[in-house]
Amino acid sequence: MISQKLQDAIAGVSDKVDVVIAYQQGFDKLHATPCFMTTPEEIKNVIWNPLCVHNLTSYLPSLKKKKVAVLAKGCDSRTILQFIQEGLINRENVTIIGIPCSGVISVNKILQAINHEPVEDVSFDEKGNITVKTSKGEKTFSLQDVCPDKCKTCRFPTPIVYDVLVGDPIESNKTYDDAYADIKEFENKPIEERLKYWEGEFDRCIRCYACRNACPMCVCQDSCIAETRDPHWISQRATLSEKFMFHMIHALHLAGRCVECGECERVCPMNIPVNKLKRKINLDMKELYNYEPGVTPEDKPPMYTFNVDEVTIKEHKI
Partner 1 sequence: MPEIASQELRVVGFLCNWCSYGGADTAGVSRFKQPTDLRIIRVPCSGRVDPLFVVKALLNGADGVLVSGCHPRDCHYSDGNFYARRRLEMLKKLLPFLGIEEKRFHYTWVSASEGARWQQTVTDFTKRIHELGPLHAKKEVTP
Partner 2 sequence: MAETGFIQKEKLNDFIKELSKDAVVYAPCLEGDTVLFKAFDADKTVCLDRPANNPPKLAIFPQSETLFNFTYIKDTEDPKKMSVEIKANTEFPKAVIFGSRPCDANGFLIYDRVYIDTNTPDPYYMGRREKTTIVTLCCNAPSPGCFCVAVGGGPANNEGSDVLITELEKGYFVEAVTEKGKAVLNAPQVESGASYADEAHKKQLESEKLVKNPFGKDCQPEISMSLFDSDEFWEKYLSKCLSCGACTYLCPTCYCFNITDEQMLNNGERIRSWDGCMFPHFTLEGSGHNPRPTKFKRFRNRVGHKFVYYPEKYNGVIACCGCGRCIRYCPVSVDISEVVSYLRGSQPDVSSGTKENAVTDTVKQEQK
User: Using the 8-state DSSP alphabet, how is residue 225 labeled?
Assistant: T
Of the candidates 260, 224, 266, the one whose C-alpha atom is nearest the C-alpha of residue 81 is 260
How many degrees, rounded to 5, is the angle at CA 253 between CA 155 and CA 54? 45
Partner from partner 2, partner 1, ligand SF4, none binding residue 217, C-beta < 5-8 Å depending on class: ligand SF4
What is the distance between the alpha carbons of residues 135 and 28, in angstroms, rounded to a whole number?
A: 14
Q: Sheet harboring 119-124: ordered strands across? A: 119-124, 129-134, 137-142
Which span (92-100, 190-198, 268-276, 295-303) binds ligand SF4, by CB under 6 A?
A: 268-276
Partner from partner 1, partner 2, ligand SF4, none binding residue 70, C-beta < 5-8 Å depending on class: none
Q: Are 257 and 215 in contact (CB under 8 A)?
A: no
Contact between 127 and partner 2 by CB under 8 A: the answer reads: no
| Pairing relationship of beta strands 164-165 and 119-124 according to DSSP bridges | unpaired
Of the candidates 178, 170, 174, 110, the one whose C-alpha atom is nearest the C-alpha of residue 142 is 110
What is the distance between the alpha carbons of residues 145 and 104, in angstroms, rounded to a whole number?
A: 11
Q: What is the binding site for partner 1 (CB under 8 A)?
A: 186-187, 191-199, 233, 235, 237, 239-242, 244-245, 248-249, 251-252, 255-256, 277, 280-281, 284-285, 288-289, 302-303, 306-308, 310, 313, 315-316, 318
Residue 17 or 234 having the CB closest to ligand SF4: 234
Residue 27 or 306 having the CB closest to partner 2: 27
Least distance to partner 2, CB of residue 203, Å: 9
Residues that bind partner 2 (CB under 8 A): 19, 26-28, 30-39, 41-42, 45, 54, 59, 108, 111-112, 115-119, 135, 204, 206-210, 212-214, 221-222, 227-229, 235-239, 263, 266-267, 269-271
